[in-house]
Amino acid sequence: MRTVTAVIAMLAASAFVMILNETVLSVALPPLMTEFGVGATTIQWLTTGFLLTMAVVIPTTGYLLSRYTIRTLFIVALTLFLLGTALAAVSPSFGVMLAARVIQAGGTAIVMPLLMTTTLTLVPPQHRGTVMGLNSIVISVGPAIGPTLSGVVIEALGWRWVFGLMVPIALIALAVGAFLMPKLGGGGRAPLDVISVLLALLGFGGVVTAVSSASDLANGSLVPPVAFAVGAVALVIFTARQKRLQRADKGPLLDLRPFSERNFTLSVTVLTVSFGVMLGTVVVLPIYAQSGLGMSVLATGLIMLPGGIAQGVLAPVVGRLYDMVGPKPLAVPGVVIIAIAQWWLSTIGPDTTTGQLIAMHVTFSVGMALVQTPMMTHAMSSLPLPLYGHGSAILNTLQQLAGAAGTAALIGALALGASLSELTGPAAQIAGAKLAFAVGGSLMLIAVVCAPLVARRARSAGETTTV
């Protein structure tokens, strides 16, 4: 048991540092826009590109987990992250920075499913909620406190040190983890379907590009509809190919059988919508605070600190409550709270106080804490053991894709709102942010509808199904 604890703790600690990078640049986006000479819809690709890369790489983790050991995958993941982080610290241009973020994301994409699958494989069912609650600190609190940590570092040392300080941490994690990680798993010889990887890249990339450039429709641009059409067609072909490979027993890139479990499908829907809105909010809020209200990078980061602390404190508590009462008593009020917080944020203006912003963000964070662990645990616990690997890949893929799409959607709404307002300067940014949060509130209605439909009962340890 001590070995299991050490392995999961090492994976969780490494994943925490890596997942911080989903939002670590959010408070730095306004100054980076000035330094690299690009606009909001371009600079957001430093976050969206990171998430999109994860969404493309994660489906391959089902194959990777079956073929390689935990130790091998951990070393590869940390090495990629280390290289990307070092490159980001010295990036001279937007293009190089984007490339660095893509390399970082490749490593992060491997670690997240590795953490979840290892937990579900080694931890008894009666303790999964508690352990997953601790793991959710990595998944939800990392992005939540990323802006605060980076705000402090940027104010004191500059944005490059956000990455520079991560390099020695990644080196230590790589050295310790290489010694600690067991040689478990692996040995499979299933081939990797490269065509499916390319279809996923085209499909996910097309949809996210369409969403991120939606504001260009006002200027008559054809990029959004063309990108969406290409992405939609690619995803249809991708889905058909996965089903065909599954029937032929040739090992699909993404095994879609978990979607036959109703609880899995509903839980994943609630989780991905909430996660997408969360990451979109974490990116839009700093732009509003800095460009709209004239706050400093440090002040913006500190505004988001209480919400991050709230999620960190509540995550393990919610995990234990899930073990006792199941998902519905937690997730249903959680999605309602998130929706209320989004519509509350849509009322911001030039006179919104720091206290009001903190209250809005804390409310939002409490809702996320009530949703994240129950939906993540319930989704995976609804599956039989043979589908854990692919269920984890699906959950993480859709979560990151939703994060990319949510960020792109809210940034697109911000740009559209600023354009339609016919205002300039801070007033235009405020008008755009109001529309962005209203879009977030509208998206949460999907989760509000789906959460009450989740059944309380998850699959027991000995229960099986035809797979």
Residue 207 has pLDDT above 90, yes or no: no
Q: What is the pLDDT of residue 199?
A: 93
Phi, psi dihedrals of residue 383, rounded to the nearest 5°: -105, 150
Sign of the alpha-carbon torsion through 352, 358, 363, 367: positive
Q: What is the pTM of this model?
A: 0.81
Alpha helices in 326-454 (DSSP H): 328-345, 354-381, 388-421, 425-450
pLDDT band at 128 (very low <50, low <70, confident <90, very high): low
List, as own/partner pairs, every contact residues 192-195 make where C-beta atoms lie below 8 angstroms and the sequence separation is at least 24, other chains included: 192/60, 192/63, 192/253, 193/241, 193/245, 193/250, 193/251, 193/252, 193/253, 195/241
pLDDT band at 464 (very low <50, low <70, confident <90, very high): very low
Cα angle, residue 11 at apex, residues 5 and 17 outer, rounded to 5°: 135
Are 85 and 51 contacting, i.e. CB atoms less than 8 angstroms apart?
Answer: no
Structure tokens, 467 = 């797979």
- Structure confidence by residue, pLDDT tens digits, 5-39: 777 777 888 888 887 777 788 788 888 888 888 88
Structure tokens, 156 = 């004191």
Phi, psi dihedrals of residue 264, rounded to the nearest 5°: -60, -50
Question: Residue 316 and residue 140: Cα distance in Å, rounded?
Answer: 12
Question: Residue 28 and residue 36: Cα distance in Å, rounded?
Answer: 12
Question: Residue 108 and residue 85: Cα distance in Å, rounded?
Answer: 11
Q: Which of 212-216, 266-270, 329-333 has the lowest mean pLDDT?
A: 212-216
